Amino acid sequence: MAGDLEHYKLAQDPAFVRLSNMTSNRYKYFRWTPRTARITLTYMVVVPAIVGYVAYKSDGKYNFRAKRKGDDMREF
């Protein structure tokens, strides 16, 4: 009625297929090096520690509820 079903076939891009295969099999080729260990340590220890420190220091300092125009956000 509306045409042949062959019209909807898609040709796959070889670069996209290689990228897809690489990302799904990345764990097979991972190797611990000093660089990957440093990056892992940074994202698993240093970044959460910095975020936690900032959250601890600013806990209760700001109140965003029921403020009107011109009111101060800081509590102390």
Model confidence over 31-52: pLDDT tens digits? 999 999 999 999 999 999 999 9
Who has greater pLDDT, 39 or 76? Answer: 39
Instruction: State the chain's maximal CA–CA distance in angstroms.
Output: 73
Question: Domain segments of the chain: what residues?
Answer: 31-69+72-76
| CA angle (39, 33, 18) in 5-degree steps | 85
Token couple for 59: 């806990």
pTM of the model: 0.55
The C-alpha atoms of residue 18 and residue 14 are separated, in whole angstroms, by 6
| CA angle (46, 49, 54) in 5-degree steps | 130
